[in-house]
Amino acid sequence: MYVQHETRHAELADHIEELVRAAVPWVEKVTGLPLPRPRFELVDVDGLALAYRAFVRRQMERDTAGLDLTRWEQAKLVGQPQAAELMVRRGGLSRKPVLVATSIGKPSTLIVPEALGLQKLRETPDLLCDLLVRSLAQQAQVLAGDGQIVPAPEWPKSPTARHPIVQLSEGHAQWTSSQATRQITGSTQQNRGPLAKRLARSVLEPMADRRVARASALVDQAVSARGLTAFNAVWNTPGLAPTLDEFRHPGRWIGRMPPP
């Protein structure tokens, strides 16, 4: 387990590491996926912007390897990492944990403590644990497929929130948290005060919108119908992820999944 941080976040990093240590066995049990060495990095917006730019560049180089690109596509390929950095600096990603694959293909979750208000989240351990469990589930997805399926491709570019891989990844993360978080914290989501409710809206809502809820329900149906082993083939089998149409018609996707 590894939590990288700056000196001013040492206490927070220790708290996150303690929660992650408690969460890992539950995430492994719920997902059926191993998590040998989770990695979290507490960074400022500048650190996140530079790391995300490098991540997007690596993803695009991988996604376009061997393709015969037009001059327009080549120009877009060059400009996309810079556009990704600018989006972060404008606050487009800094308000939630960001999953990246490192230069050696290992997953890492980047967190900007000031933007997420993590110091206040310490007062609501169920919410902080929920956030970390979701991140751990996504790291397990990356490891299961050596980064070939998750994170989602950067080329050709599509609206991020609607990309089937993004929806499946976040839906699976929500499904995992719905089963694991209460077991880890021993608390109930219903017993929240005003502070917790505000934090839930400001921090967690982007990952709990209608599309993610639908994806979480799809994961639950698929696991119930096929079992964890068959379901987890989605993380390392190209073409097995559900299409946008299959999110609306779960039976079609379940019908083409591997048998139990």
Q: What is the pLDDT of residue 108?
A: 96
pLDDT of 45 higher than 70 = yes
In degrees and rounded to multiples of 5, residue 101 shows phi and psi of -105, 130
Give the predicted TM-score (pTM) of the model: 0.90
pLDDT at 50: 95
Tens digit of each residue's pLDDT (9 = 90 or more) over 62-72: 999 999 999 99
Which residues sit opposite 109 in a β-bridge? 40, 99
The percentage of the chain sitting over the pLDDT mark of 90, rounded to a whole number, equals: 62
Q: Span 184-200, mean pLDDT?
A: 55
| Predicted pLDDT at 155 | 87
d(CA 202, CA 223): 30
Phi and psi torsions of 53, nearest 5°: -60, -45
pLDDT given for residue 157 in this prediction? 72
Q: Flag whether pLDDT at 217 surpasses 90.
A: yes
Q: How many helices (H) and strands (E) does the chain have?
A: 12, 4
Higher pLDDT, 145 or 161: 145
The SS3 assignment for 187 reads: coil
pLDDT in tens, 193-206: 454 444 444 444 54
What does the pLDDT look like over 250-259, one tens digit per residue? 999 999 999 9
Buried b (16+ CB within 10 A) or exposed e, 150-182: bbbbbbeeeeeeebbbbbbbbbbbbbbbbebbb
The answer for residues whose C-beta is within 8 angstroms of residue 212's C-beta and 6 or more apart is 167, 170, 171, 174
The β-bridge partners of 108 are 100
Q: What is the pLDDT of residue 93?
A: 83
Q: Where are the beta strands (DSSP E) in the chain?
A: 2-4, 39-42, 98-101, 107-111
Confidence (pLDDT) at 160: 64
What confidence score (pLDDT) does residue 122 get? 66
Residue 132 has pLDDT above 80, yes or no: yes
